Amino acid sequence: MKKLLVLVIVIGIAILMTQTVPDKKAHKAAMMKAVKEYVDEEAEERGFADNGITRFGKNMVNKAIEGTLGSMLKVKNYYLFNTTHVRVKDKDQLLSVGLLGQVITFNKDMLRETIENAAVAKKEAKAEKKRSKAEAKAEKKRKKEAAKAEKKRLKEEKKRLKAEKKAREKQLKEKKKESQ
């Protein structure tokens, strides 16, 4: 009887846990709350006064981080709980765990490192895109110059062939004159 009661309780808890796993929005909201706290603490530590400009700057930072993290967050569902990861430099970093309708975020040092790594990764991606664009532009310019050189070569070839044709016609006319 006790075993049956324990089994029923365990199954009941498992069902409760599966029904209360937070979704990605809840994870993102918890992460943004932690980010806001982190940004506020950083501003306070660096001695920024709480004025309109500082609030504007904080909002800009929060929006930038939200945009970066929002697109990078991956939620892994394990039915009884879920975790949020962000992929930075080919590594998955665990950011939060969702359980019983709650999202637990990890310490601020880890958040700071993740934000910094995400910013670095975004900069690297932007630099790579810029480099690729520059390479494509250089390749296009090289092809254009090659096409221009080929066009010039063909024009000179046409000019040479025209001159040869004129010379042959002139020779034919001279031979005709001589034979008459």
Domain boundary assignment for the chain:
2-134
Measured CA to CA, the distance from residue 154 to residue 83 in angstroms comes to 65
Question: Is residue 162's pLDDT more than 70?
Answer: yes
Q: What is the pLDDT of residue 89?
A: 67
Segment 162-166 shows an average pLDDT of 90
Question: Is residue 142's pLDDT more than 90?
Answer: yes
Within 46-107, where are the H helices? 52-72
The sign of the CA dihedral 116, 119, 125, 127 is negative
Q: What is the pLDDT of residue 121?
A: 73
pLDDT tens track for 62-116: 676 666 666 677 888 888 888 888 776 677 777 788 888 888 887 666 667 766 7
**Residue 89 φ/ψ, nearest 5 degrees:** 50, 50
- As a whole number, the mean pLDDT across the chain is 80
Q: How deeply is 79 buried, as exposed, middle or buried, from its count of CB atoms within 10 A (0-12, 13-18, 19+)?
A: exposed
Angle at 161 between CA 155 and CA 164, to 5 degrees: 145
More confident residue, 107 or 31: 31
Measured CA to CA, the distance from residue 13 to residue 100 in angstroms comes to 10
Q: How deeply is 114 buried, as exposed, middle or buried, from its count of CB atoms within 10 A (0-12, 13-18, 19+)?
A: buried
Picking from 6-10, 83-87, 129-133, which range would have the lowest pLDDT averaged per residue? 83-87
Q: Which residues contact 88 (CB under 8 A, 6 or more apart)?
A: 72, 114, 117, 118, 120, 121
In the chain, which ranges are E strands?
Answer: 73-77, 82-88, 91-99, 102-105
pLDDT band at 176 (very low <50, low <70, confident <90, very high): confident
Measured CA to CA, the distance from residue 143 to residue 151 in angstroms comes to 12
Query: What DSSP element (H or E) covers 4?
Result: helix 2-19
